[in-house]
Amino acid sequence: MTIDPLHTLLALLAVVAGLAATLATMRLPRLVAEAARQRDLAEARARSFGLLSRDLNSLGLALLGRAQVLATDARETGRAFEGEARNLLALADAAAEEAAGVVPGRGLNEERFPLAPILREAVAIAGAQLGPGKRHWRIAPAIENLAVTADRRALRGALVQVLGRAARATCEADVIDIRADLRPHAASIVIEDEGVGLAIEDLAPAAHDGAADRSRGLGFGLSLARSLLRAHGGELVIEAAPGIGARAFLSLPPERMAANLG
């Protein structure tokens, strides 16, 4: 019996083609998932920079208005002018981090550390962005006994954005309370202010009933804070009432925040 070389070659080619088709079929779901992930990331970036553009436009108009009346009301307008300029610089820093991919999906550099020192750092940064204005930051004593497992830089960034919002929504010498709320389903850092307040549908990043995200009125800073918390499996929820104030919950999975045992 003789072997036809042509038939043998065709059979080998058929086997190779079959293997290639099988491998392609196995890789297809992964390729589709990766393409979807990249599309979602691109859409998230586009939304973030859209929010940034809106915030920068708003700040630019505010600074222009301050500049026009600075000569007649130098002291008060000058303080407000500086605060808004600092806010503009903070947004620029946040945009630079976003553009560099510092926010998810970068890998998280997780570690366990005491909560109180990172919270005081965030308060200092938010206070500096406010300029010469002053707020009374009241950190609950119980926070001194807590530790968190997270990316230190990401958590500080989320805190700065939420604390900055609270500072801008309040007046000179107003009180901003910061406490922890530990529950079986979530561990939250709660930031409460008695500022101007906004209707919850204009401010809340997510509905309590699990509805789709709502970014209208959210702004770039809070959108960034939400992304940083979600990278840790957490969430940002803000409850607000016009003329009464707001309460922000920076929530993490319960295993990420617990008593600091040293």
Encode pLDDT of 226-249 as tens digits: 988 999 999 999 988 777 789 999
Q: Is the pLDDT of residue 214 over 50?
A: no
- Exposed e or buried b for every residue in 90-107, given b needs 16+ CB within 10 A? bbeebbebbeeeebbeee
In this predicted structure, the answer to whether residue 79 has a pLDDT above a threshold of 70 is no
Spatial neighbors of 240 by CB under 8 A, at least 6 apart, are 197, 198, 199, 200, 203, 204, 246, 247
With bands split at pLDDT 50, 70 and 90, how would you rate the model's confidence at 82? Answer: low
pLDDT score, position 163: 94
**Does position 70 have pLDDT exceeding 50, yes or no?**
yes
Q: How far is CA 54 from CA 77, 93, 218, 219, 252, in A?
A: 23, 16, 11, 8, 29
User: Which tops the pLDDT comparison, 204 or 240?
Assistant: 240
Q: Please give the angle made by the CA atoms of 24, 104 and 233, to the nearest 5 degrees.
A: 100
**Contact criterion met (CB below 8 Å) for 111 and 149:** yes
Locate 65 and state its tokens: 């208005």
Closest Cα to residue 219, out of 154, 156, 169? Answer: 169
Of the candidate ranges 3-17, 132-146, 240-254, the one whose mean pLDDT is the lowest: 3-17
Q: What is the pLDDT of residue 46?
A: 67
Domain range enclosing 150: 39-259
What percent of the chain shows pLDDT beyond 70?
Answer: 63
User: Rounded mean pLDDT of the chain?
Assistant: 76
User: What are the residues facing 17 on neighbouring strands?
Assistant: none
Look at residue 209 and tell me if it is in a domain: yes
Whether residue 4 lies inside any domain: the answer is: no
**What pLDDT was estimated at residue 215?**
39
pLDDT bucket at 4, cuts 50 / 70 / 90 = low
Is 11 a domain residue? Answer: no
Give tens-digit pLDDT for 167-201.
Answer: 888 888 899 999 999 999 999 999 999 876 554 44
Structural tokens at position 12 = 């080998």
For residue 213, the domain's CATH number is 3.30.565.10
Q: What is the pLDDT of residue 170?
A: 86
Q: What is the pTM of this model?
A: 0.64
Number of C-beta neighbours around residue 42 at 10 A: 10
**pLDDT tens-place string over residues 88-98:** 766 766 666 66
Q: How many domains does the chain have?
A: 1
Instruction: Flag whether 16 is in a domain.
Output: no
Tell whether 27 is covered by a domain: no
Residue 9 lies in a domain: no
DSSP count for the chain of H helices, then E strands? 6, 8
Q: Is residue 77 part of a domain?
A: yes
